[in-house]
């Protein structure tokens, strides 16, 4: 107290202020909040403004054209396809992720010998920088030296036996080829599938790679949800005679649903707004068939220097974000009430 008395009334008032929650709490938050407002909020507003101007590269302003860019983008066939692709890409990859992560998390939550190492293998796709790990897939799906194709078209039985993996794959392809929007065609030993050179297969490859990279993250969130279920719940379920599938359906699933929703919402946002996987695997090709909203916005805004329309295209993602935001907010409140 002696030190405070010596320091004089001015700094004493300041110190008292620092002890006051009503001052200290906002004072500690404001630098971070300010930074976010400047670097997320302002650019977002700027994006909305730009989307209504005819700005090109090298400008920050342009003639105000209202919603011209949005309607212009909408009437472009490539945009329509990009929108459809984004929806398919997001839903399909997240469906794979949900099922995979659900199964994997249940198996990983209990400790067993070798779990540390297996978990390391499973975390690899999440830890590796996505831009470079996708290059790995560029090589795996190579048009000539694809390891997948090598396995498909080579005789897997040694010494004269015959087993070719492409035959069952061909059967599957034959089945899905009857779907109206699928054009795959037959494959044989001399014509292995061109994973990145054929529109339908390229979409499948992109969906697979995205699911591959989101799966570890979703699994981790699922594990978090599972391990937060108190052991008493399991004991109570045991006493009540609930086992196996019934226990899963009536006990584990309802308790895990909230955190699974969080993982799903994250996955949706990170997938719908991602452009790395598509940009590196196909850059939107072949023939602009695999563009997503993000890559189409990049193509229009940066490559073709049409800043205003590019901004408009990426803003078509905003509804997705708004829906997810509302769900998350609703969800956070629900958790707090309980």
Partner 1 sequence: MWATLRERGVSYLIVGPFAIVLAFPFYWMLVTAFKTNGDLYNLNHVPFTYHASPPALGEKLTFQHDHWLPFGFDHATTSHINFIFSDTNYLRWVENTAVVGGLVVLITLLLAVPAGYSLARLSGRWGQSVGVGIFLTYLVPPTLLFLPLSRVISKLGLQDRLWSLVLVYPSFTIPFATWLLMGFFRTIPAELEDAALVDGCSRLKALARVIFPISIPGILTVVIFSFSLCVNEFVYAITFISGTKQHTISAGVPNDLIRGDVYFWQSLMAATLIPSIPLALLYNSFLNRFIAGFTGGAFR
220-249 binders of partner 1 (CB under 8 A): 220-221, 223-225, 227-228
Q: Is position 17 an interface residue for partner 1 (rule: CB under 8 A)? A: no
Backbone dihedral region for residue 160 (phi beyond 0: left; psi -120 to 50: alpha; all else: beta): left
274-to-26, 38, 167, 313 alpha-carbon distances in Å = 34, 23, 34, 14
- Burial of 278-299, coded b for 16+ CB within 10 Å and e otherwise, reads bbbbbbbeeebbbbbbbbbbbb
From the number of C-beta atoms within 10 Å of its C-beta (0-12, 13-18, 19+), residue 132 rates as exposed
User: Of the listed pieces 65-73, 174-182, 246-254, 295-303, which binds partner 1 according to CB under 8 A?
Assistant: 295-303
Residues in CB range of 120: below 8 A, 6 or more apart: none
User: Of the listed pieces 70-78, 161-169, 171-179, 316-324, which binds partner 1 according to CB under 8 A?
Assistant: 316-324
User: Of the listed pieces 107-115, 169-177, 230-238, 247-255, which binds partner 1 according to CB under 8 A?
Assistant: 107-115
User: Of the listed pieces 68-76, 174-182, 211-219, 249-257, which binds partner 1 according to CB under 8 A?
Assistant: 211-219
* Interacting positions 188-207 with partner 1 (CB under 8 A): none
Which of residues 124 and 179 has its CB atom nearest to partner 1 in the complex? Answer: 124
191-to-143, 165, 282 alpha-carbon distances in Å = 10, 14, 20
User: Of the listed pieces 75-83, 133-141, 166-174, 233-241, which binds partner 1 according to CB under 8 A?
Assistant: 133-141
Q: Is position 276 an interface residue for partner 1 (rule: CB under 8 A)? A: yes
Query: Which of 199, 165, 173 lies closest to 290 in space, CA to CA?
Result: 199
- Site residue total, partner 1 (CB under 8 A): 108
Single out the residue of 120, 233, 236, 253 in contact with partner 1 (rule: CB under 8 A). Answer: 120
Which of residues 179 and 318 has its CB atom nearest to partner 1 in the complex? Answer: 318
Q: Is position 165 an interface residue for partner 1 (rule: CB under 8 A)? A: no
From the number of C-beta atoms within 10 Å of its C-beta (0-12, 13-18, 19+), residue 202 rates as buried
Which of residues 81 and 213 has its CB atom nearest to partner 1 in the complex? Answer: 213
What's the closest the beta carbon of residue 180 comes to partner 1, in angstroms? 30
Q: Is position 259 an interface residue for partner 1 (rule: CB under 8 A)? A: yes
Single out the residue of 5, 8, 10, 127 in contact with partner 1 (rule: CB under 8 A). Answer: 127
């Amino acid at each position: 107290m002696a030190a405070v008395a010596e320091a004089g009334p001015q700094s004493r008032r300041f110190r008292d202020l620092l002890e006051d929650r009503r001052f200290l709490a906002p004072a500690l938050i404001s630098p971070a909040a300010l930074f976010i407002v400047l670097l997320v909020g302002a650019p977002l507003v700027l994006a909305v403004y730009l989307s209504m101007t005819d700005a090109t590269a090298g400008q920050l302003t342009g003639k105000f054209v209202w919603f011209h860019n949005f309607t212009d983008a909408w009437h472009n066939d490539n945009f329509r396809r990009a929108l459809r692709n984004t929806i398919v890409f997001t839903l399909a990859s997240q469906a794979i992720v949900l099922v995979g992560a659900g199964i994997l998390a249940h198996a990983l939550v209990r400790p067993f010998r070798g779990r540390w190492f297996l978990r390391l293998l499973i975390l690899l796709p999440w830890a590796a920088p996505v831009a470079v790990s996708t290059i790995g897939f560029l090589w795996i799906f190579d048009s000539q030296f694809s390891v997948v194709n090598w396995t498909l078209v080579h005789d897997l039985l040694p010494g004269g036996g015959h087993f070719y993996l492409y035959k069952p794959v061909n059967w599957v392809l034959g089945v899905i080829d009857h779907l109206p929007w699928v054009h795959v065609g037959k494959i044989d030993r001399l014509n292995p599938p061109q994973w990145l050179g054929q529109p339908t297969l390229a979409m499948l490859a992109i969906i697979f790679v995205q699911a591959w990279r989101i799966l570890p993250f979703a699994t981790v969130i699922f594990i978090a949800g599972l391990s937060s279920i108190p052991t008493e719940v399991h004991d109570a379920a045991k006493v009540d005679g609930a086992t196996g599938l019934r226990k899963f359906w009536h006990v584990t699933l309802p308790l895990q649903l909230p955190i699974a929703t969080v993982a799903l919402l994250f996955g949706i946002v990170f997938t719908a707004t991602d452009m790395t996987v598509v940009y590196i695997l196909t850059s939107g090709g072949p023939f602009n068939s695999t563009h997503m909203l993000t890559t189409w916005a990049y193509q229009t805004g940066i490559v073709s220097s049409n800043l205003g329309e590019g901004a408009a295209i990426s803003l078509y993602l905003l509804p997705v974000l708004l829906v997810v935001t509302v769900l998350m907010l609703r969800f956070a409140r629900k958790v707090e009430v309980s």
